[in-house]
Amino acid sequence: MSDPILAHVEGAVLTLTFNRIEKKNAITTAMYSALADALTEAAQDDAVRVVVFQGAVEVFTAGNDLADFLSKPADLSPGAEPAPVVRFLEALRTFPKPVVAAVCGPAVGIGTTLLLHCDLVYAGDNAAFSLPFVNLGVCAEGGSSLLLPQLLGYQRAAEKLLLGDAFYADEALEMGLVNRILPPNEVNGYAQAQAAKLAAKPATSLRATKALMKKPMTGLAQAMIDEFQSFGDLLRGPAAREAISAVMEKRKPDFSKC
């Protein structure tokens, strides 16, 4: 059985690859742990200067693995030991070095919100982004309730977060979520080339510049804590149970009593 998260270092670039194609790169608890550990180690490793996230040509990630989500529900209550997904997002939020993402195909839920924490994002012309949290009976996560309105303006962010409809590469480029659109078979290579350029620059200057650009986001840590608390409360509620059951049973959810 292949490793669902591949970690490979070459030329001071750590590449983290979603490698669970048979499940559309859906992310399990174990995968979140692997990602959190890799980022935590890379933050302290002077040999790593840049991190790249990538998936396959046909899919970046389908977001949370819902079966795993149901069988191993995360305790997101205040004071609980941080769940793997919380550790991953916190490691990504605080990561001091440049982070590059190469996105092809669907980037669902956290597959889109993690991009808000990346410094450079390159997308295939087949990329499809979606934030279907409300449709699953939960709420925004990954700091998206703060970062998306900052990026898009309130009304446009509300459209993405409240309706949860998919949007595509051209719109993502226009709204500033991605830096460049490329043919899918060129995206990973281009992201690697950009990462190599970054890795050749002075590490201290890159870190200082990133820290300065991130400094105005003083409310992000608290926003993520608030999101997780609301997410955990909603996850235990009837709407989330109905929504996730409907997805697993391949039927339309009924929210008339939620």
**pTM of the predicted model as reported, rounded to 2 decimal places:** 0.95
Range of the domain at 163: 5-184
Q: How confident is the model at residue 142 (pLDDT cuts 50, 70, 90)?
A: very high
According to DSSP H, which parts of the chain are helical?
29-44, 66-71, 84-93, 110-113, 144-152, 154-158, 169-175, 184-199, 203-214, 220-235, 238-249
In a domain, 125, yes or no: yes
Of 170, 172, 181, 169, nearest in space to 122 by CA: 181
In a domain, 208, yes or no: no
In a domain, 156, yes or no: yes
In a domain, 127, yes or no: yes
Distance in angstroms (rounded) separating the CA atoms of residues 146 and 226: 11
Strands 50-54 and 99-103 turn out to be parallel
Of 198, 190, 188, 195, nearest in space to 19 by CA: 188
In a domain, 196, yes or no: no
**What residues have CB less than 8 Å from 211, skipping those under 6 apart?**
96
The DSSP code sequence of 62-105 is --B-HHHHHHS----STTSPPPHHHHHHHHHHT--S-EEEEE-S
In a domain, 192, yes or no: no
In a domain, 137, yes or no: yes
- Worst-scoring range by mean pLDDT, 72-76, 88-92, 116-120, 210-214? 72-76
Task: Look over the chain and give the mean of its residue pLDDT values, rounded to a whole number.
Answer: 95
- For residues 117 and 100, is the Cβ–Cβ distance under 8 A? no
Q: Helices 84-93 & 220-235, crossing angle to 10 degrees?
A: 160
pLDDT for 1: 61
Residue 167, phi then psi, degrees to nearest 5: -135, 165
SS3 assignment, position 206:
helix
Q: Is the pLDDT of residue 161 over 90?
A: yes
In a domain, 242, yes or no: no
Task: Give me the CATH number covering residue 60.
Answer: 3.90.226.10
Number of domains in the chain: 1
